[in-house]
Amino acid sequence: MVRFLSQRHATPLTKTVTALAMVATLSVVAACSSDAGSTNGTKIAAADREIAVQFAQSGSGLVQSSPVNTLTGSAVRQRFFSVPRPAEIVADDYNDLSEALTYASRAAAADPKSQNGGKWVEAAQIGLLFGSPEGKAFLTAPAGRALVRGEPAESCPALNVAAAASDDQATEGAMRACLRQMAGKEGCGCRVIARADRLLAQRDDYQYAIGVSSHLIDPRTGKQLAMTAEERVIEGRPGARRLWMLGVAGPVGMLQIEPDGRAAFIFSRTGKRYDGTHRADGFRRGRVARRAYLTAPDGKRMVVLVGYEEGELQENIGTLQTWNPNGPVVLKKAEAE
């Protein structure tokens, strides 16, 4: 079924999690000063190069290259048209695809002058487009372009961007990529959230938190180390990410995740490495909440949690810190404050 809703049906968690706009400033972590954020950025740039060498020498097959985190001036100067209550264009499966594509085309072609309450907004005001790797790819697409997200976002961790000769082709490409990714995930569909110069979701749906919470956990004792995680893309590696774990003094370590489910962690100071797998649970303020289950050569295990909201983490800590590399978890929603 395709859902074309004029008003969002939001739960308290949805309002907290709604996927994708800038809620963090350019500082890496709220607990650090702006000076510390600048220092962290410099240390990450240097550590990226060092970690790349460590991974390349490990023989693991995790090929590295320099991350890309910049936009061109012309991309930044773009504007996008947004309306207060856009229709939700969602395809639950391939049977809905044709209808969803038709409505996406109509929504993007509507005359801005005839849409009450609509306004043009700068790219820099849209967190997803300005901050996320997929958003940057959307901004820099040379011709037709579309951005599609898993729906509902809090439990369907897919974000797909496509560029093509036309917006129609790009929308279909992004939708098909998302539907492939969500195949087999119960209750998940795919929603068109941006196309050409139109935003097809509410502004709150474009949150993007630059820094999110992260925890390194010993599953045997429950001992935790809490930090902030900042994401870096890897050039030419769609779906691969570096997640830097940051303390006040700088990078503690780096988690690299691969599209095929592999993951590896290296501590910055000692170079000790853990290998294993990762799983995604959905978006929280535009960032995917992830679990990684890792083992060092000496047999020591570690669970890495990234991106879970504080209330959700407290409510589910017993489940999340348990060693569970092969199965899904059922997370309770945090009580509304």
- pLDDT tens across 197-229, in order? 999 999 889 999 888 999 999 999 999 999 999
Task: Return d(Cα 100, Cα 4) in angstroms, integer.
Answer: 9
Can you say how many angstroms the Cα of residue 68 is from the centroid of all Cα atoms in its chain?
15
ω before 219 within 30° of 0 (cis)? no
Tokens of 26: 């350019």
Q: Which of 195, 249, 186, 218 is nearest to 81 (CA)?
A: 195
Task: Return d(Cα 292, Cα 221) in angstroms, integer.
Answer: 17
Provide the whole-model pTM.
0.75
User: Is the CB of residue 32 less than 8 Å from the CB of residue 211?
Assistant: no
Task: Return d(Cα 143, Cα 300) in angstroms, integer.
Answer: 49
pLDDT by position in tens, the chain (length 337): 455 543 333 332 232 222 222 222 222 222 223 344 445 555 544 554 454 444 444 433 332 222 235 666 777 788 999 998 898 999 999 999 999 999 999 999 888 888 888 899 998 899 998 888 888 888 888 889 999 999 999 999 999 988 899 999 999 999 999 999 999 888 999 999 999 999 999 988 999 988 899 999 999 999 999 999 988 877 667 678 899 999 888 899 999 999 889 999 999 999 999 999 999 999 999 999 999 999 999 999 999 999 999 999 999 999 999 998 987 788 887 554 4
Helix (H, G, I), strand (E, B) or coil at 318: helix
- pLDDT tens across 286-331, in order? 999 999 999 999 999 999 999 999 999 999 999 999 998 987 788 8
